[in-house]
Structure 1
Amino acid sequence: MPKQVDADERRGELAAATRRVILRRGLEGTTLREVAREAGWSIGVLAHYFETKDELLRYSLADPAWVMNRFDTTEPDGLASVRRILERLLPMNTEMRDMWQVWMTFWASWPGDAMWDQERRRRQRRFRRYCRSLVRHVVERGETGAGIDPDGAGDALAILLHGIGVQAVMDQRAWPQRRQLEELDEFFVTRLGVRQ
């Protein structure tokens, strides 16, 4: 078992190094050699864990530690806690802007690749389910207006978060933290009927 943990740790370190290189050089400029250099390892060590650049890139986006850290797994406790959970998903700090930038790079990658298209769809469905569950939570607690459809509002929330994320990465000056939070609050008022 210790060898498996070590292998998982190393794969995670390589995935993190890959994401840093992507942020600096873009997807096309990311090479196995550059990732090995960033990680402080030889190309031979990297090749032990990933045979191809494609395999490394795909793992870097799917790295369990990185992906799961994006979602708050604590149970929400009302509207205020749901808002805090959603705030942590927005690109309001360097770490989250970097995460969004990497995601946007991968979203546009491998067009027409059936396996990757399926993975993108799977991730989007998971994100929508997550947003639906957060909306359902506040609806069930009676913290929204009457007649709110949790699934429809959850899908709208997912769209809003993606829109804010893309806009804030593409034009950080136009989308500072204040504006991102205003849009989120506007969603609560107009779509969920929350009184402020």
Structure 2
Amino acid sequence: MDESAEPPREDARPAPALVLLVGLPGAGKTTLARRLAAADGLLRLTPDDWHLPLFGTSLRAEGRRDLLEGLMITTALRALRLGTGVVLDFGLWSRDERSALRALAAGAGARCRVVHLPVELDVQLERIERRRAEAVGETFPMTRADVVGWRRRFEEPDEDELAGRALPAPPPGWATWAGWAADRWPTLEVDGP
């Protein structure tokens, strides 16, 4: 028996989870994020809640959205290290974004779950219009052309992502997912391993 190994902690709890909500506008991400946060005691991080009061309805806000998301991811990683689960309500349209966040969660000692919320175009457009009418000033302007273009750019998660299987290698030019993530979200701070 290895006497140098630490005995199991009596208060051993399962590792906290990072839940990544993946989907386009109108897919139901924020509704689900609120439900998960309330039911499971997760910290809910939704960039739109901060973006609109800080930057108005400009979707990208001259790159400031990426800065805001980086700060939120840093907060998520700190919460995970403290044992608090987090739900990120970001959309996460690209496989690379999701892979980077899965790697960062593992580095913070957390489990990661990818939840995809698919939505048909007609349902999506109806939800966007209803939200715009019911929450004046609390949503972004989106045209049908915007939505159709976004649907073309969206990378649906595959079975490996949804099942939490092994991560792909970082994109060419990047040694680690943390390095890629720090470039994608310039305000990201990766503490610890």
Q: TM-score, normalised by structure 2?
A: 0.30
If asked which structure has higher relative contact order (CA below 8 Å, sep 6+), I would say 2
Which structure would you say has the larger Rg? 1
Of Structure 1 and Structure 2, the greater helix share is in 1
Of Structure 1 and Structure 2, the greater strand share is in 2
